């Protein structure tokens, strides 16, 4: 048996039952692929089911408001994916009359659809012979064939994709792709791969050469930037003062609190006595509570957030910042970053 056939045979015995594997509907496959980008299957599964139930067709998703979509996306992170998902649904309805494309060349032109996703949809929905190369496939190929080319470089991506595209020949494309990804995910895992019971062990270069833990090679990690967020939580009877985030930074169009960002950590007392704070809230404000610092990791940023609850503030901010009072029963309907709703979960009296 060749390598591909071995992997497919293994898949028949070991695959997980996942709802997006039962469909050839390109819309549902696309939905699952976008949700699963940079997300573990167990984390993405409930989101997939929620979106599928709320928006069974691309028309339903296109007709939703962005706020609704982001609210459903809440907690999954990488919110630009949620916004692109919505925008793409609208484009498919407008440009393709709601008939979701299935061929690679058309799919690749859709917003938020890269080579990987286009290959996945075209092979699963239409049987196009396009190899899907995700992190699991990179690792499996790198180890099995003993390839040292860094996987996070353009050269590496081209080399591994070309190899996968030669291996797919002669196999049902959708099945081959699913099998390769599942094998990499469950059998040839990043840590502690199951080499002892691996059906392709005899031909595996890394196993024979004792290099399993050296492969795949990565060129370098992206630098992570520290940011210091001082959130001002207005704890009074009018509800909470909220902020809709603008473009050009993380969490576009999500809701958080008025924010004073500093270049390093500052004590809440110094924040409240700073000119920036006084310019927004006056000089009568008193601190009623402090939470944090809370560390929150994003892909390229490390946030250090402090939540400063205040009372007795002046409304100097009116109209200038796009802030608004949200009634307590309205707050749960706003799409918020995980950092914010985790804070609110700890203080249920602030939002009902
Ligand atoms: Fe992966 Fe180990 Fe199998 Fe090689 S022998 S393909 S390293 S699980």
The pLDDT tens digits of the residues spanning 290-310 come to 888 899 988 788 999 999 988
Residue closest via CA to ligand 1's atom 1 equals: 188
Report how far ligand 1's centroid is from the alpha carbon of 157 (Å): 20
More confident residue, 171 or 318: 171
Please give the positions annotated as active site.
33
Residues whose CB is less than 8 angstroms from the CB of residue 171 and which lie 6 or more positions away in sequence, other chains included: 4, 5, 8
CA 47 vs. chain centroid, Å, equals 11
Mean pLDDT, residues 48-75 taken together? 95
pTM: 0.70
pLDDT at 352: 57
According to DSSP, residue 320 is labeled T
User: Residues 53, 28: contact at Cβ < 8 Å?
Assistant: no
143 lines ligand 1 (CB under 6 A): yes
Residue closest via CA to ligand 1's atom 2 equals: 195
pLDDT at 223: 74
Residues whose CB is less than 8 angstroms from the CB of residue 90 and which lie 6 or more positions away in sequence, other chains included: 62
- Give the pLDDT band of residue 249 (cuts 50, 70, 90): confident
Mean pLDDT, residues 60-83 taken together? 91
Sheet of 301-311, strand order: 259-262, 225-234, 301-311, 286-297
Mean pLDDT, residues 40-62 taken together? 95
pLDDT higher than 90, residue 87:
yes
Report how far ligand 1's centroid is from the alpha carbon of 141 (Å): 10
pLDDT at 184: 96
Mean pLDDT, residues 210-219 taken together? 90
According to DSSP, residue 96 is labeled H
pLDDT at 316: 66
Q: Where are any strands of DSSP class E within 219-285?
A: 225-234, 240-244, 255-256, 259-262
pLDDT at 320: 60
Query: To the nearest whole number, what is the mean pLDDT of the chain?
Result: 90
């Amino acid at each position: 048996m060749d390598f591909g056939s071995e992997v497919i045979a293994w898949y028949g015995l070991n695959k997980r039952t996942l709802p997006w594997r039962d469909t050839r509907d390109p819309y549902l496959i696309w939905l699952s692929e976008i949700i699963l980008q940079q997300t573990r299957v167990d984390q993405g599964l409930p989101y997939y089911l929620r979106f599928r139930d709320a928006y069974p067709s691309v028309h339903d998703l296109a007709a939703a408001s962005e706020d609704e979509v982001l609210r459903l996306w809440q907690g999954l992170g990488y919110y630009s994916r949620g916004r692109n998902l919505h925008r793409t649904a609208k484009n498919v309805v407008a440009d393709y009359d709601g008939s979701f494309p299935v061929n690679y060349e058309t799919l690749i032109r859709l917003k938020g659809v890269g080579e990987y996703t286009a290959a996945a949809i075209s092979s699963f929905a239409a049987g196009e012979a396009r190899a899907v190369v995700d992190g699991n496939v990179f690792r499996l190929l790198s180890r099995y064939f003993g390839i040292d080319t860094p996987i996070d470089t353009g050269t590496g991506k081209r080399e591994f994709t070309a190899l996968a595209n030669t291996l797919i020949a002669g196999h049902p494309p959708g099945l081959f792709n699913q099998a390769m990804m599942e094998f990499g995910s469950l059998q040839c895992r990043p840590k502690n791969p199951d080499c002892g019971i691996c059906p392709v062990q005899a031909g595996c270069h890394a196993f024979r050469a004792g290099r399993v833990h050296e492969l795949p090679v990565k060129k370098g990690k992206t630098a992570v930037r520290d940011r210091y967020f001082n959130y001002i939580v207005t704890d009074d009877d009018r509800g909470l003062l909220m902020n809709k985030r603008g473009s050009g930074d993380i969490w576009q169009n999500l809701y958080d609190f008025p924010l004073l960002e500093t270049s390093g950590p500052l004590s809440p007392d110094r924040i409240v006595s700073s000119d920036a704070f006084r310019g927004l809230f006056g000089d009568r404000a008193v601190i009623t509570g402090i939470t944090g610092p809370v560390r929150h990791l994003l892909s390229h940023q490390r946030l250090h957030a402090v939540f400063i609850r205040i009372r007795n503030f002046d409304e100097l901010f009116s109209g200038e910042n796009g802030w608004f009072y949200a009634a307590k029963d309205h707050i749960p309907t706003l799409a918020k970053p995980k950092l914010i709703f985790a804070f609110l979960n700890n203080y249920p009296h602030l939002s009902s």
